[in-house]
Chain A
Amino acid sequence: MSELLRVEHLKKYFKTPMGMLHAVDDVNFSINQGDTLGVVGESGCGKSTLGRTVLKLIEPTDGRIIFDGRDITFIKEKENLELRKQMQIIFQDPFSSLNPRLSVADLIADPLKTFHLYRNPEERKKKVHELMDMVGLAKRFEYSYPHELDGGRRQRIGVARALSLSPKFIVCDEPVSALDVSIQAQILNLLQDLQEQHGLTYIFVTHDLSVVKHISNDILVMYIGAMVEKSPAKELFKLPLHPYTKGLLSAIPVPNIDIPKKKVQLQGELTSPIEPKQQCRFVARCQYATEACHSKVPEYEEVLPGHFVSCHNVRSINGL
């Protein structure tokens, strides 16, 4: 499979009165056509900022974004607009991301109008129906408004809007977090079906590890702007190497009463991403922290084939 997106040393800093906020700090990855990269982490770890920076919705501070063989890091606004046809986003909250004054058909036709596609009203209508059908929205909702629909249907509108320009690549920013479990499963299945039919490539940003395991090929774990671990999805759950990933995985409540719990409980909370010190960002909560962890930023290295970790003590902790 060919590589669709490659991100090298991507950085996004925000200026705040207290100093520079390192929202995304030196992130590297690549995604092949048709694959899904899951990005997980707790709130404030920079996962949404990463998704938006890759789409150029936010200007990156430094680094390189190569999409489809082309460097798009610092291209002009006009070219950026062209790029939107190929890269789209599905937002988290289907309650606030849809204009309440547009009907379902208008909402879905909106991107088509922006790009002057399907100018003939008849054809446009046909395309809208086609999209509604694709995401499983019944035609009778055509003239409904978002407030008349439930969360699951609203999220289907969001999916239809993202698909309307036939993109190659979609960033799904917590697309199911605001939904009930039974509806969440419906949307996840829809996203997987669409991926298979259209060969879509996803970045799937979420805080829910079970969702990400279900849908991703590779998983990237972030902690305060930095990447701590990246590995094939199944391997990450079998063999988490970074102490943070271990803690994160064991914190998930498992709906099974037969598995005895062995908890690696993480104490404390996320530290501030503003002007972080030159040290491992996880050091304050890490039970294995040594002197090196306090004085040096760990390197991001390939510990096992395809399995990257940034931790000074990864080998001694895991007995590798």
Chain B
Amino acid sequence: MSLLEIKDLTIHYVTKDSIVKAVNGINISLEKGETIGLVGETGAGKTTTALGILGLIQSPPGQVVGGEILFSGTDLLKASDHEMRKIRGDEISMIFQDPMTALNPIMRVGDQIAEVVYLHGNCSRAEAVKRSIQMLEMVGIRAERSREYPHQFSGGMKQRVVIAMALACDPKLLIADEPTTALDVTIQAQVLDMMNKLKKKLGTSMILITHDLGIVAESCDKVAIMYAGRIVEYGSLEDIFHNVSHPYTIGLFGSMPSLDKDVDRLSPIPGLMPDPSALPSGCKFHPRCTSAWEECSKVEPELYEISPGHCARCLLFRKEGAVNE
């Protein structure tokens, strides 16, 4: 049994004027110790998916319309608030994008870590404090700094505190939402390196949300490329990097200035991300797609299998004679 199995997850934001279809029928499965990268641009639905797993979609306007999130066999969408509170921070924890706003500015960092342990860990305050110091040392912060406040730490150090907090209860699943986007490259390299080592050591599974394919190449086993609330390509790291298939993914690679090749002009994806409250008909990518033909605006493609485990949501990969379900 997989650790996490998301089936047909659909999340909408319902407002007075419109329905924003943020996540539309996403399927993901994740084994123990595996890392999956969720890649996409702003508004692709990456963060909404993550918040959905944690049951943190604000309602209203958010609504989980359908689907299942099976975590170790239990459906998180059916869990009560009380049960979710127990799971959150303990078995599933999250690293947020911006370490500057994720920490409480008027609480010592050691206490902030100890709080998680105390609330979930069935232990005394003293034990929780001990654990918090142990965690700080694990992420490379000296024990005596546990009595300092967040503003006394630099951005990279703050993110280490956030990571220590997320890992304090030995979660089975860690969701990292753009964990290094706010950091400088040299600090990013340090933090990623540390995360990869800790993940291996503790056997934690991870969902890594990012827009940087370089980070994906360094840290992930599987990749899901998202566009307009859908997974458009899904496969192992090798599938995506050696046999990139969906026109959107190809466009993403073409948009990134490369360090090892010299190109005069980048080949960006023309046009813009569609308005999520007024998505185009048919394939959601067809207005920007260079290989689109007439049918693309009428038929919504499914995820077609290209090779075992590698799928793309594009009519190019529809097998001739296959019966549409």
Contact = CB atoms under 8 A, between A and B. Distances in A.
Given A150-B272, A182-B255, A185-B267, A256 B241 contact: yes
Contacts of A42: 184-187
Contacts of B241: 255-258
A254 B257 CA distance: 10
Contacts of A237: 259
B259 A209 contact: yes
A78 B128 CA distance: 64
A213 B211 CA distance: 20
B211 A180 contact: yes
Given A186-B270, A253-B192, A265-B189, 15 more contacts: A42-B187, A182-B269, A185-B266, A188-B266, A189-B265, A209-B259, A213-B257, A251-B186, A252-B185, A255-B253, A256-B241, A256-B260, A257-B237, A259-B260, A266-B186
Given A182-B269, A261-B218, A210 B255 contact: no
Contact of A182 (B41, B186, B218, B262): B41
Q: Which of B154, B186, B216, B255 has the most CB of A within 10 A?
A: B186
A276 interface: no
A254 B259 CA distance: 8
A43 interface: yes
B75 to A, nearest CB: 34
A267 interface: yes
B195 interface: no
Given A257-B237, A269-B154, A182 B215 contact: no
A213 B259 contact: yes
Nearest to B272: A150
B253 to A, nearest CB: 7
Contacts of A320: none
Interface in A197-231: 207, 209-211, 213-215
A147 interface: no
Given A184-B255, A257-B217, A269-B156, A251 B185 contact: yes
Q: Which of A248, A254, A261, A265 has the most CB of B within 10 A?
A: A254
B212 interface: yes
Interface string B232-265: 0000011001100000000111111111101101
Nearest to A151: B42
A253 B217 contact: yes
- Taking residues whose C-beta sits less than 8 angstroms from the other chain, chain B's interface range is 35 or more
A247 interface: yes
B41 A255 contact: no
Contacts of A248: 185-186
B152 to A, nearest CB: 13
B268 interface: yes
Contact of A253 (B218, B255, B270): B218
Contacts of B270: 186
Contacts, number: 119
Nearest to B240: A257
- Taking residues whose C-beta sits less than 8 angstroms from the other chain, chain A's interface range is 35 or more
Contacts of A258: 241
A150 B212 CA distance: 20
B268 A185 contact: yes
Contacts of A252: 185, 214, 259
Nearest to A250: B189
Nearest to A237: B259
Interface string A42-59: 110000000000000000
B266 A214 contact: yes
Interface string B177-214: 00000001111111011000000000000000001111
A298 interface: no
B212 A253 contact: yes
B254 A207 contact: no
Nearest to A253: B214
A267 to B, nearest CB: 7
A115 B238 CA distance: 57
13 contacts: A152-B272, A182-B255, A184-B255, A185-B266, A188-B266, A207-B184, A213-B259, A257-B217, A258-B241, A263-B189, A263-B193, A267-B190, A269-B187
A181 B41 contact: yes
A214 B257 CA distance: 6
B251 A182 contact: yes
